[in-house]
Amino acid sequence: MTLNLKNPLTFFDLETTGTNIVKDRIVELSVVKVMPNGENITKTTKINPTIPIPAETSVIHGIYDEDIKEAPTFKNIAKSLAKFLEGSDLAGFNILKFDVPMLVEEFLRAGVDFDVSKRKLIDAQKIFHMMEKRTLSAAYKFYCDKCLDGAHSAEVDTLATFEVLKAQVAKYEGQEVEDNLGNKIGIIKNDMQILHELTASNMVDLAGRIVLNSDGVECFNFGKHRNTPVTTVFEKEPSYYDWMMNGEFPQDTKRRLTEIKLRVFSRIKK
């Protein structure tokens, strides 16, 4: 099975100090860049997070402070990594909720504007959950009939996800996909634009704090204003914007929030 690619598709996986996008940092990054001609380029890099790795986290991924004390910081590799990913779409397992937001946050902290709005984002976990509802190890066993030895190693997980997505496309191509309410939302095809639309089309910010509703309107996706249009909240409770801007939200979320606010202000001014 060969993926039908118009652009390079880079599968990636992160190991981190924890799961807080704002406070935690990357300690290992593995990428498999798949070229349209079928060539694969694999790179794995340990990264000094500049903060201690909690012992309970090290037990999970096997990376300890001693392992990364001589490694480069993310800031050291940010520009070369952005160059490597230039023109490439992104894929992985559960990347929409964690890996992409974390990666973009690290780029922003390093002063590198890594824009994903023009890239296709393919999340094999979302396809898996829509079609089978399981985990990466189970997906690897189900689709590839192999046991995932070395799970939670970034490179092992990344290569496994590459194999899983190819198997998913081969297994489901032409089949209709339904949402949780039973509504038909598309058809699985060997087309990265279609897979992007099925897995990531309603995202506004990468942390999922703001999403598009069925009418394409930007709505909050958390808290007391969940499912309420952002513009409506700005009109009725202007201080909510300041609360979010001063709170522990990812920089990408704050950036998208400011873009919406400026757009509303510009419309009112006209």
Domains in the chain: boundaries? 9-201, 204-270
Q: What is the pLDDT of residue 130?
A: 86
121-123 vs 89-92, strand pairing mode: parallel
pLDDT tens digits for 130-153?
A: 887 678 888 999 999 999 887 778
Please report the sign of the dihedral spanned by the C-alpha atoms of residue 165, residue 167, residue 153, residue 136: positive
Determine contact, residues 25/106, Cβ cutoff 8 Å: yes
Is the domain spanning 9-201 CATH 3.30.70.100? The answer is: no
Task: Select from 60, 26, 31 the least CA-distant residue to 44.
Answer: 31
Q: What is the pLDDT of residue 101?
A: 95
Collect the ranges in the chain with pLDDT lower than 70. Answer: 133, 180-181, 267-270
Q: What is the pLDDT of residue 267?
A: 66
CA–CA gap between residue 114 and residue 132 (Å, rounded): 32
Q: Tokens 């985990």 appear where?
A: 135
What's the residue count for the chain?
A: 270
CA–CA gap between residue 242 and residue 260 (Å, rounded): 13
pTM of the model: 0.74
